[in-house]
């Protein structure tokens, strides 16, 4: 796909509208926290690989106390040093290279270097959206350090250029990420829906903390280029998004949970039909899915969703907690609205 607009052009455009602070007046330290988010209607496939512009819109829910806290300070030795959960990450690792490339977008006119301290309470690259909260917290910390005072919409656009799903990690609650139509992606950002649903619960079912066999970026590209099922994906998303709208309006949990599960399975079906095939399931993932279907047959309403990793996220209402905990005692329960 030919790409005309460059990330650096978008950064320039956004920073032109930002609060300009002379270098000497910046903060000594910048901090930003971002919650991770779980997509109920998935983003799978890009219409622009450089800017991370999605083929479709998507919808997520934030996990408020699972996320990333990034603290930035100036590094006077002219090097970027990345510390993740208390341990320095090798400068030549893929993780640090990706962060440095991202930071380079913001220092084309002026050279500065940072100490980047990231604390995450979710496993990295295991399909729990660590890159979403990581990039969202990084851009919030940079905004704080530089005193740019950028609005959340612009921060969402900038976060998206680090990792697509990061566009949704700037807010708590339900967030809609607009696919947008513009070539420069200035209309492709997250928007909070301001819908409260206090009884809703998300259960994180840890299956494996192993890093994913293929990155979501590469997996998306391969799916778009080779899956015979991919052409039906945008239609599926558009139908699901209108069902989600009804489900949220009516607080209809069966409709919400069923649509989320069906959407996740359809996304994985497009991956399985790619070539070479992409499969994020592990045998234990399938075993847990069958236990969930069994619980539903017994009248306990619980649904799952799965991202680019083997772990499942369960959706249920507080009244079902005890029954579900009996089957999955290791599940971590999140209260998204409390
Ligand atoms: O933003 P990425 O490149 O980490 O891709 C996220 C892809 C999924 O988690 C599978 C779906 C989604 O919408 O978050």
pLDDT tens profile 136-147: 999 999 999 999
pLDDT at 3 over 60: no
The whole-number pLDDT of residue 26 equals 87
What digits encode the pLDDT tens for the residues 200-247? 999 999 998 777 789 999 999 999 999 999 999 999 999 999 999 999
Q: Which two tokens stand for residue 247?
A: 């489900």
**Would you give the distance in Å from CA 30 to the centre of its chain?**
22
| Dihedral (Cα; 164, 166, 170, 176), 10-degree rounding | 40
Average pLDDT over residues 178-207: 96
pLDDT at 150 over 50: yes
Give the global pTM: 0.95
127 confidence band (pLDDT: 50, 70, 90): low
pLDDT at 25 over 90: no
Atom of ligand 1 nearest to the CA of 177: 13
Best CA proximity match to 304, nearest among 283, 287, 329, 279: 287
Q: Could you give the percent of the chain with pLDDT greater than 90?
A: 87
Question: Using a 6 Å cutoff on CB, does residue 36 contact ligand 1?
Answer: no
Instruction: State the angle between helix axes of 7-16 and 152-160 in degrees (0 to 180), rounded to the nearest 10.
Output: 170
Question: Using a 6 Å cutoff on CB, does residue 39 contact ligand 1?
Answer: yes
Kindly report the average pLDDT of the chain as a whole number.
Answer: 94
The whole-number pLDDT of residue 17 equals 80
157 confidence band (pLDDT: 50, 70, 90): very high
CA separation for the pair 46, 43 (Å, rounded): 8
Question: Using a 6 Å cutoff on CB, does residue 306 contact ligand 1?
Answer: no
Question: Using a 6 Å cutoff on CB, does residue 307 contact ligand 1?
Answer: yes
pLDDT at 32 over 90: yes
Mutate to test the pocket of ligand 1, among 54, 156, 164, 190 (most ligand atoms within 8 A of CB): 164
Q: How much distance in Å is there from the Cα of 216 to the middle of ligand 1?
A: 6
Question: Using a 6 Å cutoff on CB, does residue 30 contact ligand 1?
Answer: no
Nearest CA, atom 8, ligand 1: 307
The whole-number pLDDT of residue 312 equals 96
The whole-number pLDDT of residue 1 equals 47
CA separation for the pair 38, 46 (Å, rounded): 18
CA 13, 14, 15 angle in degrees (round to 5)?
95
CA separation for the pair 187, 182 (Å, rounded): 6
Best CA proximity match to 204, nearest among 109, 67, 8: 67
| Dihedral (Cα; 26, 29, 105, 39), 10-degree rounding | -130
Q: Which residue has the higher pLDDT, 27 or 224?
A: 224
Using an 8 Å Cβ cutoff, are 333 and 304 in contact? no
Q: Could you give the percent of the chain with pLDDT greater than 70?
A: 97
pLDDT at 318 over 90: yes
What digits encode the pLDDT tens for the residues 41-51? 999 999 999 99
Which residues sit opposite 94 in a β-bridge? Answer: none
Best CA proximity match to 282, nearest among 309, 263, 261: 309
Q: How much distance in Å is there from the Cα of 99 to the middle of ligand 1?
A: 18
CA 247, 312, 292 angle in degrees (round to 5)?
70
Question: Using a 6 Å cutoff on CB, does residue 131 contact ligand 1?
Answer: yes
What digits encode the pLDDT tens for the residues 70-92? 999 999 999 999 999 999 999 99
Average pLDDT over residues 270-297: 97
274 DSSP 8-state letter: S
24 confidence band (pLDDT: 50, 70, 90): confident
3-state SS class at 272: helix
3-state SS class at 37: strand
Q: Which residue has the higher pLDDT, 127 or 164?
A: 164
């Amino acid at each position: 796909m030919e790409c005309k607009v460059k990330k650096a052009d978008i950064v320039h455009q956004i920073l032109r509208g930002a609060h300009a602070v002379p270098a000497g007046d910046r903060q000594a330290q910048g901090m930003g926290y971002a919650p991770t988010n779980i997509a109920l209607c998935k983003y799978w496939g890009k219409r622009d690989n450089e800017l991370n512009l999605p083929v479709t819109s998507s919808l997520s829910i934030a996990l408020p106390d699972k996320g990333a806290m990034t603290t930035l300070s100036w590094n006077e030795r002219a090097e970027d040093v990345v510390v993740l959960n208390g341990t320095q990450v090798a400068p030549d690792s893929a993780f640090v290279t990706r962060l440095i490339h991202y930071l380079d977008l913001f220092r084309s006119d002026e050279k500065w270097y940072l100490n980047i301290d990231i604390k995450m309470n979710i496993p990295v690259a295991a399909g729990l959206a660590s890159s979403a909260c990581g990039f969202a917290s990084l851009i919030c910390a940079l905004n704080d350090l530089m005193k740019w005072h950028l609005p959340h919409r612009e921060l969402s656009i900038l976060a998206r250029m680090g990792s697509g799903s990061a566009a949704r990690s700037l807010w708590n609650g339900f967030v809609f990420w607009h696919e947008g139509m513009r070539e420069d992606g200035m209309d492709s950002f997250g928007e909070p829906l301001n819908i409260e649903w206090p009884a809703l619960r998300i259960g994180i079912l840890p299956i494996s903390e192993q890093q994913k066999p293929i990155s979501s970026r590469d997996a998306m590209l391969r799916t778009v280029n080779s899956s015979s099922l991919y052409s039906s994906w945008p239609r599926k998303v558009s139908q699901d998004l209108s069902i989600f709208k009804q489900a949220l309006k009516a607080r209809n949990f069966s409709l919400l949970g069923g649509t989320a599960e069906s959407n996740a399975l359809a996304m994985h079906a497009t991956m399985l039909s790619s070539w070479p095939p992409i499969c994020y399931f592990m045998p234990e993932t399938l075993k847990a899915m069958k236990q969930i279907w069994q619980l539903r047959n017994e009248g306990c309403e619980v649904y799952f969703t799965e991202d680019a990793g083997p772990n499942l996220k369960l959706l249920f209402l507080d009244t079902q907690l005890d029954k579900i905990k009996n089957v999955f005692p290791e599940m971590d329960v999140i209260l998204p609205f409390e």
